Structure 1
Amino acid sequence: MSTIELTSHSAPASDTAPRQSRIRVLRRRLATFVTTLVIMAAVSVGVAAPSQAATNYCSNGQCTTYLNWTETVNLSNGRPPKIVTPVPQLTVAINAGLWGHVLIAKGWVWRGNCVAFTANVRPWATQGMTGWRCR
């Protein structure tokens, strides 16, 4: 009877440390990039409002942009604010993100709420799109 020997083909311990370090650096850079995009989008939404109806509140590294009822309804109907940045790729990314938020805004409008965008310099903190009672 023959025996089958199973061996694992894992990398030596000396190769895993640099790889884990590279992964850690990549995660940190990705988190910084995403945080920067969110902050720029939140600030741009407040700046791009022609009626200046959006309200911005910033404190302790966190900024929140509150859209009023009209702006929330416009966003939910597929008319997000036009945002132009000096970098065309960033403009495309921000506008694609806004179009992704159209369906979420519809849900907040159906509940009778407005939309708020929160961005924080700390990647682990609360950020994103939320609803708030505006009526």
Structure 2
Amino acid sequence: MRTAIEDIMSVSEREQEMLVHRERRMAIMIAAYAASSTKGANHDIMSVSEREQAMLVHRERRMAIMIAAYAASSTKGANHDIIKERACIEHEEGKLQIFLTNLIKDSILTIQGAAKRMNMTEEVFRSKMR
């Protein structure tokens, strides 16, 4: 007789465990649904998940801004290097133009030859000589 009662009790314990397990799974599913969506579920769970979502979105935006800022700053550095290099080239071209102008004044080189070396037309070279 005792075994029958124990069997009935153990069956009900198993059923209770299954019910508890089902409730936990349901609670997890509701929380997951509330976290992924603003629809349904308990208002308190929804409010918490909305806050968490807002924090996540805020974090993602901050990360995106930081990545964009880093990319912009690295590009700025690259642009600065290009500008610096261009200034050096222009400085060297300026020295070359002065050198060629002096050769023209000393009648060693013609304006046509100097303009050709500077990849300019004669008119442009003459305007820069002054």
Q: TM-score range by the shorter chain?
A: 0.3 to 0.5
TM-score normalised by L of structure 2: 0.32
Between the two structures, name the one with larger relative contact order (CA 8 Å, sep ≥ 6): 1
- Of structures 1 and 2, the larger Rg is shown by 2
Task: Pick the structure with more strand per residue.
Answer: 1
Which is richer in helix? 2
